[in-house]
Structure 1
């Protein structure tokens, strides 16, 4: 949830002018201490996160899935030189949540 810039300015101004402590302001305005400390440091609204780009290219991962459809995530992680959780996140980003299940085969010979 993002608070408006007016609300942020009002809270910061009240703390500085009324000698209100951070704890009192948090209780009065029903906000967390961490949020208020962040506003005191920089009250501007952040519109985007500073998230680094993905290490795993989407096209390369899709090609790897086509070439090795039965491999486990840790095996893909070794090929891409990343962690298993990185592969999981990339698959989730692509909308692939699990490996396709193998169909049951008749073993009567």
Structure 2
């Protein structure tokens, strides 16, 4: 095998040892999705970095959690461009915040 595939003996030995490698578990997520939902209800106009600061997580964790929950933000077209506010939509409850 070593000569056929032109690999080192040490590499082949390492690969053979790892054939039955145990699957890695997923990381426990720090953010609680119910707490995030409540934060959205309490502060519907907040930015992701503000939520991250309140919940003691990164902004990327907030982004991924919102994506997982299916929460989107839509601009309210009734206001002028300078006073436009964002509206959060929760897909499960189908209600505007």
**TM-score w.r.t. length of structure 2:** 0.61
Distance 2:57 2:3 in 1: 42
Give deviations 1:25-65, integer Å, cap 9, x for gaps.
Answer: 78xxxxxxxxx78742321265x541121111111000111
Q: Greater strand percent: which structure? A: 2
TM-score for both structures, normalised by structure 1: 0.56
Q: For residue 88 of structure 1, what is the aligned residue in structure 2? A: 63
Aligned CA RMSD, in angstroms, stands at 3.0
The gaps in structure 1 that reach 5 residues or longer are: 1-19, 27-35
Question: More helix by proportion, 1 or 2?
Answer: 1
User: Post-superposition, which runs of at least 4 consecutive aligned residues in structure 1 deviate over 6 A?
Assistant: none
Query: In structure 2, do the counterparts of structure 1 residues 102 and 94 end up closer, same or farther at CA, with 3 Å as the change threshold?
Result: same
Aligned pair partner of 1:104 in 70, 75, 78? 78
Which 5+ residue runs of structure 2 have no aligned equivalent?
A: 81-97
- Count of residue pairs brought into register by the alignment: 77
- Cα distance in 2 for partners of 1:95, 1:72 equals 16
Deviation at 1:86, TM superposition (A): 0.8
Are 1:77 and 1:83, in contact at CA under 8 Å, matched by a contact in 2?
Answer: yes
Given that 1:73 and 1:88 are in contact with CA atoms closer than 8 Å, whether structure 2 keeps it comes out as: yes
Task: State the secondary structure of the residue aligned to 1:103.
Answer: coil
Aligned to 1:75: 50
